Amino acid sequence: GINYAKASRGSRIDFNRFNLIVSVGGDGTFMEAARGVKGQVILGVNSDPSWSVGKLCCATAETFESVVSKLLSGKGSVKTLQRLKLQIGGHSAHALNDILVCHHHPAAMSRYYLTVGKIKEEQRSSGVWFATAAGSSGAIKSAGGQTLPVQSRKIQYKPRELYTGRGNVYKLRGGVLTPQVKLQVTSLMREGFVFVDGSHVCFPFGFGKTITVSRS
């Protein structure tokens, strides 16, 4: 008895038409849908629990009907997750999980200025991660970051494999920040890139360009 429309992953969707967004797949599908959410409830359905981690999914094909019934009756609980806002040039994007700034080639060194609060530092590394609490158990944790409570509003950053070959001493080695802090990165790379929630959404980040990362 619910009016609905369906769309494939990667298509342009006007989410303003809907009250409830349902993603069917895994966490990647959920995050892609979450970038377009503007206040609606989003329900993740793990389409293959035997293969997909589905950490952000709270239903499967077997439990979908009961979960939706609870939502419609007002008995379901809804969690609020924080996103990051990326500003690059005249464009902006929202990340539910994380943002990665690095050279386009994985074997090349990433060079940039990183600004956190009042501290600005030139760094050479394999790139720098920015993550939400929801994304804190993923790539940034593997890089040495901390796992945060999923509903925390704090922002986390972590440079990957900082280069110390010339005795470089870095102050900005990673940390968990209050929601009010804005972070900036200025590229010192001709072929830098910024990746949002994985590899599907990315922006060229050439020499002299600056991005701002903040709480969405």
The CA R_g of the chain, rounded to the nearest whole Å, is 19
Residue, of 55 and 62, whose pLDDT is higher = 62
The pair of structure tokens assigned to 53 is 């981690």
Instruction: Say what the pTM is.
Output: 0.88
Pair 129, 135: CB distance under 8 Å: no
- Contact criterion met (CB below 8 Å) for 205 and 192: yes
SS3 helix, strand, coil % of the chain, rounded to 5?
10, 35, 55
Mean pLDDT of the chain: 92
Are 176 and 157 contacting, i.e. CB atoms less than 8 angstroms apart?
Answer: no
pLDDT at 167 over 90: no
Q: What is the mean pLDDT of residues 105-134?
A: 96
Burial class of 104 by CB neighbour count within 10 A (0 to 12, 13 to 18, 19+): middle
Q: Write out pLDDT tens, residues 14-46.
A: 888 898 999 999 988 998 888 888 888 999 999
The helix (H) or strand (E) run that includes residue 140 is helix 139-142
Tell me the pLDDT tens digit for each residue of 185-211.
Answer: 999 999 999 999 988 889 999 999 999
Residue 169, Cβ density class (10 Å: 0-12 exposed, 13-18 middle, ≥19 buried)? exposed
- DSSP helix/strand/coil, 176: strand
Handedness of CA 125, 29, 56, 37 (dihedral sign): positive
Q: What was the pLDDT predicted at 77?
A: 86
Mean pLDDT of the 61-83 span: 91
C-beta neighbour count of 52 within 10 angstroms: 15
Query: How are beta strands 128-131 and 98-103 bridged, if at all?
Result: antiparallel
